[in-house]
Amino acid sequence: MTTAALVIEAACLTLGPFSLRNLDLTLAAGEILVLLGPNGAGKSVCLEMIAGFHRPQSGRILIRGRDVTDLPPEQRRVGLVFQNFGLFPHLTVARNVAFGLRTRRLGHARAERAVVDLLRQFGIAHLAGRSPQHLSPGEKQRVALARALAARPDLFLFDEPFSALDARTREVLRDELKAFLREAGVPAVFVSHDQTDAALLADRVAVIDHGALRQVGTVASVFRKPANYFVAAFIGVENILAGRLLPRLGAMSRIRVADAVLHAAGADDAAGDVLLSIPAEEIGLRPIDGLDALGLCSSTNRIAGRVSEVRSMGALVRVTVDCGFALVACFTPREARALGLSPGQAVVAEVEADAIHILRDQVNCR
Amino acid sequence: MAERLRRARGSGVVLTCWLVGSVLLAFIVVPLLGLAAVQPVRNLVRVAAMPDVRLAIWLSLLAAFLTAGCAAILGVPLAYVLARGTFGGRDVVAAIVDLPLAVPHTVAGIALLIVLGRQGPIGGPIGEVLGLRFWGTLAGVVAGMLFVSAPYAVNAAQIGFEAVDPRLEKVARTLGMGPWGVLLHVTLPLAWPGIMTGLTLTYARAISEFAAVAILAYYPMTAPVKIYEMFLQFGLEDASAMALLMLLVTLALFILFRGLARRRARFAGAGR
């Protein structure tokens, strides 16, 4: 078994009114974890705790099997990249990169050569003598990565490096970063409040809120099966419905929502009020033709309703259907045109049973 | 930014501000020009040739330089603590730093004399142990200057430190540098423009100090004290000649410092 890149064991940290509570997190070798949460959730505090700027009051932190709980940041071997990339404005690009070599105590000549090699590797050799202030975001990112890599970190930490960038630049830099991390094979924790970062960068996602982890899992599992109301709402699941569990039917759970009964994959023996999450993109619509059997047909839920709103969101069209409860579906403009949807139209909404997910928390936490 | 400036330059707001501001500029420049205008060059040369006049100006320059040095050594750490510290009583410390600005400088001189004098609670032991005396010595001149000028050093350096992004210091730590290394290689270079501004102001304030210095160390005479003495002994003509001489030396130094600070600031990349 290979050593985990990072293990956080039951870490508790109180900083003024804020506290991280009993944080447990493991990162496999070479894995990219995106720590996702709203502003003030404790993402950055968590990252700075890993980097060594805050010492947990209890619990342990191990980086590649090394207990670093009591070590200062300079001995933890982590590479930290901040928003705007945190380049030293008083040093040239080459001196910035050389900064990361200091600890390796190479001789002067070897250090010079290492800097040149790194600059070349990142395709920024032509910027060596420039001041970082006038670099493009892409160039800044490369300098920051080269500088961090120079110190040979065991773990990369990113604190929202893209949050001040426009959408297009962000996309380009994200791809570049992903390619770099794959190639370098250095594990990374990436803090963000943007689900797109999580979806595109992460091997696994950890959702944090009020200093506690609310769900940790693969991108697919978190996005398709959010564990609770907070996660579902934060990642932007459009349909979070309140319902009541009915006695199950074979391997299916049955939930009454308003007048309809929905079937969800997976038996659930719990009873009472629950919340369901259904991503809008999992809902299909078609005009009602009178011959339709409603209810459950070979693992597909069919619910009759009327279109109440059709709203264009640019690349997507958002359609709200009144089924006794509001159900939101998303289509590409092309699909929407083919369906010819308009308000007042009677439709059948179709949802696969395994796209309906029962949230594991109390209805009243809503 | 440049675009906005260009647009603003043509507007009435800037024009009005210029008009009002030039009143103040004139208020500063006219008396000094007046000083120069009434002065025959022959007189200036005669006074400049007096050894005690030259000695006094030298002493002023030297003492102010030493004062700026003391302010740098003692004031910059205090500025760092004020900029970074989150300790209770921070406001009290900041108020204490500013206090000399509000104390009449005669009062400052008398207070220093009481404490630093030969029988004073600080002056006594220091005199015995280090042989350093303040009454009527260069050390006394520096003490008087430091008391009244230190706030400028601390305040400007504090602003310099506050402008340094703490995240840069954090990055440096993760790159393997200890806290002292970070202070030396990241924080100080980035705060340098602020520190230099502070030291320039300190130097300027120190060189102009009269009252505190005159009470604590009338002798050896600094330029302001010497000018006062010349005024009492020989009248306005000689005193104003020396005053002009002093003014020219100070002005030249000031322009030099500003230029140095600006070059250094550009180098340090203050335009973060």
ipTM, two decimals: 0.86
Q: How confident is the model at residue A365 (pLDDT cuts 50, 70, 90)?
A: very low
Looking at CA atoms only, how far is residue A224 from chain B in angstroms? 36
Of A233, A262, A287, the residue that ends a domain is: A233
CATH number for the domain that contains residue A340 = 2.40.50.100
Report the chain A residue with the minimal C-alpha distance to residue B264.
A90
Report the chain B residue with the minimal C-alpha distance to residue A77.
B174
Residue A1 lies in a domain: no
* pLDDT value of residue B7: 61
| Cα–Cα distance measured from residue A329 to residue A333, given in angstroms and rounded to the nearest whole number | 12
Plot region of B247 (φ>0 → left; ψ -120 to 50 → alpha; else → beta)? alpha
Report the chain A residue with the minimal C-alpha distance to residue B176.
A74
pLDDT at residue B8 greater than cutoff 80:
no
pLDDT at residue B67 greater than cutoff 80:
yes
Reduced to 3 states (helix: H, G, I; strand: E, B; else coil), residue B264 is helix
For residue B168, the chain A residues in CB contact (below 8 A) are 86, 88
Residue A125 lies in a domain: yes
Q: How confident is the model at residue A268 (pLDDT cuts 50, 70, 90)?
A: low
Q: What's the pLDDT tens digit per position in A227-252?
A: 899 999 999 899 999 998 888 878 88
Of A218, A233, A248, the residue that ends a domain is: A233
Residue B197: which of B163, B243, B240, B248 has the closest Cα? B163
**Yes or no, beta carbons of B167 and A53 under 8 Å apart:** no
Q: What's the pLDDT tens digit per position in B199-247?
A: 999 999 999 999 999 998 888 999 999 999 999 999 988 899 999 999 8
| Cα–Cα distance measured from residue B224 to residue A309, given in angstroms and rounded to the nearest whole number | 84
Residue A249 lies in a domain: yes
Domain count, chain A: 2
For residue A98, the chain B residues in CB contact (below 8 A) are none
Clarify whether residues A29 and A172 are in a common domain: yes
pLDDT at residue A176 greater than cutoff 80:
yes
Clarify whether residues A228 and A273 are in a common domain: no
DSSP state of A67: E
Mutate which: B175, B180, B192, vs A, most A CBs within 10 A: B175
Mutate which: A90, A91, A134, A147, vs B, most B CBs within 10 A: A90
DSSP state of A162: T
For residue B185, the chain A residues in CB contact (below 8 A) are 99
Clarify whether residues A280 and A141 are in a common domain: no
| Cα–Cα distance measured from residue B243 to residue B237, given in angstroms and rounded to the nearest whole number | 10
Q: Any idea which of A201-210, A233-242, B121-130, B153-162 has the lowest mean pLDDT?
A: B121-130
pLDDT at residue B267 greater than cutoff 80:
no
Q: At what angle do helices B188-207 and B236-268 cross, to 10 degrees?
A: 180
Clarify whether residues A217 and A261 are in a common domain: no
Q: How many CA atoms are closer than 13 Å to the CA of A257, on its beta-carbon side?
A: 27
The CATH label, of 1.20.140.10, 2.60.120.380, 1.10.3720.10, 3.40.1180.10, for the domain at B42-268 is: 1.10.3720.10
pLDDT at residue B98 greater than cutoff 90:
yes
pLDDT at residue A266 greater than cutoff 90:
no
**Yes or no, beta carbons of A102 and B175 under 8 Å apart:** yes
Residue A42 lies in a domain: yes
Domain definitions of chain B by residue range: 1-37, 42-268
Reduced to 3 states (helix: H, G, I; strand: E, B; else coil), residue A35 is strand
Backbone angles phi, psi at A21, to 5 degrees: -115, 115
Looking at CA atoms only, how far is residue A221 from chain B in angstroms? 33
Residue for token digits 């999580």?
A198
pLDDT at residue A157 greater than cutoff 70:
yes
Percent pLDDT > 70 in chain A is 95
pLDDT at residue A104 greater than cutoff 80:
no
**Yes or no, beta carbons of B272 and A148 under 8 Å apart:** no
Clarify whether residues A175 and A284 are in a common domain: no
Q: Among B171, B269, B271, whose Cβ lies nearest the Cβ of A86?
A: B171
Clarify whether residues A199 and A323 are in a common domain: no
| Mean pLDDT in residue range A112-137 | 93
Residue A115's domain spans which residues?
6-233
DSSP state of B18: H
Report the chain B residue with the minimal C-alpha distance to residue A159.
B167
**Yes or no, beta carbons of A90 and B189 under 8 Å apart:** yes
Q: How confident is the model at residue A86 (pLDDT cuts 50, 70, 90)?
A: very high
pLDDT at residue B135 greater than cutoff 50:
yes
Across-strand partners of A255? A245, A262
Q: How confident is the model at residue A141 (pLDDT cuts 50, 70, 90)?
A: very high
**Yes or no, beta carbons of A103 and B272 under 8 Å apart:** no
| Cα–Cα distance measured from residue A272 to residue B169, given in angstroms and rounded to the nearest whole number | 54
Q: What's the pLDDT tens digit per position in A43-66?
A: 999 999 999 999 999 999 999 999
Q: How many CA atoms are closer than 13 Å to the CA of B239, on its beta-carbon side?
A: 13
| Cα–Cα distance measured from residue A115 to residue A129, given in angstroms and rounded to the nearest whole number | 12
Q: Any idea which of A230-239, A357-366, B118-127, B177-186 has the lowest mean pLDDT?
A: A357-366
* pLDDT value of residue A55: 94
| Mean pLDDT in residue range A176-200 | 91
Q: Contact, A275 vs A361, CB < 8 A?
A: yes
Clarify whether residues A102 and A184 are in a common domain: yes
| Cα–Cα distance measured from residue A337 to residue A330, given in angstroms and rounded to the nearest whole number | 12
What residues contact A63, with CB distance under 8 A and at least 6 apart? A5, A6, A50, A76, A77, A78, A154, A155
Residue A202: which of A31, A7, A37 has the closest Cα? A31
Q: How confident is the model at residue A363 (pLDDT cuts 50, 70, 90)?
A: very low
Across-strand partners of B220? none
Reduced to 3 states (helix: H, G, I; strand: E, B; else coil), residue A345 is coil
Report the chain B residue with the minimal C-alpha distance to residue A51.
B174
Residue A341 lies in a domain: yes
pLDDT at residue B272 greater than cutoff 60:
no
* pLDDT value of residue A265: 85
Q: How many CA atoms are closer than 13 Å to the CA of A24, on its beta-carbon side?
A: 3
Of A189, A213, A233, the residue that ends a domain is: A233
Mutate which: A48, A74, A143, vs B, most B CBs within 10 A: A74
| Mean pLDDT in residue range A138-150 | 93
Reduced to 3 states (helix: H, G, I; strand: E, B; else coil), residue A136 is coil
pLDDT at residue A296 greater than cutoff 90:
no
Q: Among A48, A51, A102, whose Cβ lies nearest the Cβ of B176?
A: A102
* pLDDT value of residue B269: 45
Reduced to 3 states (helix: H, G, I; strand: E, B; else coil), residue B261 is helix
Rg (C-alpha) for chain A, rounded Å, is 25
Clarify whether residues A223 and A247 are in a common domain: no
Q: Is A315 exposed, middle or buried (0-12, 13-18, 19+ CB in 10 A)?
A: exposed
* pLDDT value of residue A219: 92
Clarify whether residues A107 and A183 are in a common domain: yes
Residue for token digits 């070349």?
A120
Looking at CA atoms only, how far is residue B72 from chain A in angstroms? 21
Across-strand partners of A239? A278
Percent pLDDT > 90 in chain B is 62
Looking at CA atoms only, how far is residue A279 from chain B in angstroms? 38
Q: Among A74, A82, A88, whose Cβ lies nearest the Cβ of B176?
A: A74
Residue A331 lies in a domain: yes
Reduced to 3 states (helix: H, G, I; strand: E, B; else coil), residue B255 is helix
**Yes or no, beta carbons of A90 and B190 under 8 Å apart:** yes
Q: Among A76, A80, A133, whose Cβ lies nearest the Cβ of B171?
A: A80
Q: How confident is the model at residue B266 (pLDDT cuts 50, 70, 90)?
A: low
Q: Any idea which of A219-223, A248-252, B101-105, B141-145 has the lowest mean pLDDT?
A: A248-252
Q: How confident is the model at residue A108 (pLDDT cuts 50, 70, 90)?
A: confident
Backbone angles phi, psi at B219, to 5 degrees: -110, 145
pLDDT at residue B248 greater than cutoff 60:
yes
CATH number for the domain that contains residue A124 = 3.40.50.300
pLDDT averaged over chain A?
A: 89
| Cα–Cα distance measured from residue A203 to residue A220, given in angstroms and rounded to the nearest whole number | 9
Q: Any idea which of A22-36, A131-145, A162-176, A283-297 has the lowest mean pLDDT?
A: A283-297
pLDDT at residue B258 greater than cutoff 80:
no
Q: Contact, A357 vs A264, CB < 8 A?
A: yes
* pLDDT value of residue B270: 39
Residue B227: which of B57, B107, B106, B35 has the closest Cα? B57
DSSP state of A104: G
Clarify whether residues A335 and A308 are in a common domain: yes
Clarify whether residues A152 and A242 are in a common domain: no
* pLDDT value of residue A366: 39
For the beta carbon of residue B26, count every other beta carbon within 10 angstroms: 11
Convert chain A into a string of H (helix), E (strand) and C (coil): CCCCCEEEEEEEEEECCEEEEEEEEEECCCCEEEEECCCCCCHHHHHHHHHCCCCCCEEEEEECCEECCCCCHHHCCEEEECHHHHCCCCCCHHHHHHHCCHHHCCCHHHHHHHHHHHHHHCCCHHHCCCCHHHCCHHHHHHHHHHHHHHCCCCEEEEECCCCCCCHHHHHHHHHHHHHHHHHHCCCEEEEECCHHHHHHHCCEEEEEECCEEEEEEEHHHHHHCCCCHHHHHHCCCCEEEEEEEEEEECCEEEEEECCEEEEEECCCCCCEEEEEEECHHHEEEEECCCCCCCEEECCEEEEEEEEEEEEECCCCEEEEEECCCEEEEEECHHHHHHHCCCCCCEEEEEEEHHHCEEECCCHHHC
Clarify whether residues A282 and A316 are in a common domain: yes
Q: How confident is the model at residue A293 (pLDDT cuts 50, 70, 90)?
A: low
